[in-house]
Structures are given as structure tokens and as C-alpha cells.
Structure 1
Amino acid sequence: MAGKREEQQSATRRDRRRRNAAALAAVCTATAWAAITALVARRGAELTHAAPLVLAAASPRLICSDLTEQRLRNGDLVVTYTGTLCVITAAAVSQASPGPFVRAVAVSLALLTAGAALTLTTGQFGGGDTKLAAVIGLALGPDAWAAPVVAVLYGFVLAAGAVAVRACAAKARRTPRPTTIPMGPFLLAGALTASLTARPA
């Protein structure tokens, strides 16, 4: 009987985490859409500047899956990468200017390589995080070389802050310190921050 009660309580806690994750994803996405749309309007109607909107549109599923399942689904990442690639390709063709496209692809590959190295050497950066970093490189790369790199750095800083807060909370409650943290939401938050502050190349 006690075992069933514990199982029900565990299921209730999981459902509560899923609902909280969904609510957080909705708030983050609404903020991202509003902020990036305002940024696109401010910078002009160039198609290249719409690339971050694809990332913003994909944020709900990415955040929810990472918070509730501790993983970023390959299907979601492939769709996001493909959609972003289509936007910047269309921009390069319509404007007859391949520079932003080349820059975005180069930064994306660089972040993919760096993320893979982190995954292999530290084990603290998952395969999904590596692919998401590549998507961020593709989405923010057309505007500036540094923007995607800064976005990932922002993500690490935000994640480090969250780890510190969770460690302090665990110490206060005398519970085990959490050993893992989903990086996806922090990388996306870093991308939003970088996209709002980046200066065009």
C-alpha cells in the first residue's frame, strides 16, 4: 500500500514538473517572439533577420523536452536547423549576397565542432546541446560572427548561476546536490539575449 502511495506521489510530481515546464516554455517563447520580432522590425525587413524567428518558434518543444525528459529530440533539432537554413538560403539568393550565408554556416560548423569536443572531453555537454549550439550558430551567424559565440557563452553563464542557486537550495534543505542540469533552456535564453544585443557585421 505504501509503495502504491509513493508511486502516485512520484507520478504527481512528474506531472507537476511537466506542467511547470510547459508554462515556462510558453512564457519564454512569447517573450522571444515579441522581442525578436521587434528587433527584426527595427533592423529592417531583410529576410536574413528573420532567421532567429525560426529558433524562437521551435523554443517551446525544445525547452519542454529538455526540462521534462532531459534531452533535446533529434527531430525537433533537424526541423529547426532545416527551417533556419532555408531562410538564410532564400535571403542569400534574393539579395545576391552570399556573405551572411557563408558566415552563418561557418560559425555553425565551428560551434558543432567545439560542442562535440566538450561532449567527448567533459561529458557535461550533451549531444543535443551540441546540435542546438549549431542551430544557434546558423540562426545568429548571418548578423555577426561573434553573436552565436556570445549566445553560447551567455548560456553557460546562466546555467552556472542556476547550478549555484540549486546547490544553495539543496544545502539549505539538506538534500543531495543536483548533479545535472538541462542546458537547452539556458542556451536558448543566451541566444535571445545575444540576438537582442548583437551588432550587424
Structure 2
Amino acid sequence: MSVREVAVDAYREALPVLAASAVGGLFAGVVLGGMRAELRSVAGLLVIVPALLATRGNVYGALGAKLSSALHQGLVAPTFDPDDERLVAAVTAAMANGVLVSAFAAVVAYAVLLSLGRPSASLLTLAAIATAAGLLSGVALTVVVVSAVFVGYRRGLNPDTLVGPVVTTTGDVFGMAMLLVATRTVLALGGG
């Protein structure tokens, strides 16, 4: 296969996903723009947004890459099998990392805001919002990433080409949507 053919195949596979990624990023921006009341109610919430979105990409991008490599090596089948220890371990590790990093981001944001003398919601409020958003978005991202990698592979697409844009888009969309849900839930329960 020539370099030109490889490039054409890569663009053919990636362009639709990249276009969806652009639309998803705009949607995430619309959600963030619609969170003005929540951002005013929870001082410091805006500080954790970039960290939460970045960690979604890092954690679930690694999951997608791991699954893609395992598929290429024949270590996992392109179907979700709850008895497949490798698959279950990868998903469990991603979920645990996503939730722990979310809580850690809240603690660091609180400490930085406190040290700078900036207003901040309580540590409990920030941690509850970040942890809930991490859990909710993690469930959604796990389903999307595993499905995209497996379905793409079964359809003859290179899952390595799909993972980056899919994780970026779904991480932004679900990350912001679940942050909004988590914030409203914590505020409704009396946090803040």
C-alpha cells in the first residue's frame, strides 16, 4: 500500500469523526455558556472545568488505545464479554482513574483558590460535584469508547483512527452535560 493510499484511508476514516468532534465541541460550549447560574452559585466551579475535560480525554483515550492495541494483537474479541478479564480490568481501571482524578482536581482547585485568597465553594461541594460528574461521564464515555472501538474494528476501520476524535468529542459533550447535572443535583441537595 502506498503512502498516498494510507493517507487517503486515514482521512476517509477520520474526517467524519473530526466533523462530529467540531459539532460536539460547539455543543459543549453551549452547555458551558448555559451554566451561568451554576457558575455564579458555586465559586470555583469554572476552575475545575478544564481539568475535568482534560482528564476525560486522557483517561478514556488511554482506554480506547488499550482496547485498540488488544484488538490488533488478538488479545480481546471485538465484543463486550463480561467474562473477559482483560476487558473488565481495563474498563474498571478507567472508571476508577476517572473518578479519582476528578476528586483530586476538586481538591487541588480548592487548595489553589484558598491559597490565592479567591472565593471558593466548600471542598465538600466541589468534590461532590467533580466526583459525581466524573462517575456519570465515565459511565457514558466507557459505553461510547468501547462501542466505537469494537464497532469500528468489526466494520474494518482502524480503531486507532477513531479513538482520539471520539474520546475528545464525547469527553467534552458528556463531561459538560454531566457537570451540569452533577452541579444541579448537589445544589438541590443543599450543597454550595
TM-score by length of 2: 0.49
Structure with greater contact order relative to length (CA < 8 Å, sep ≥ 6) = 2
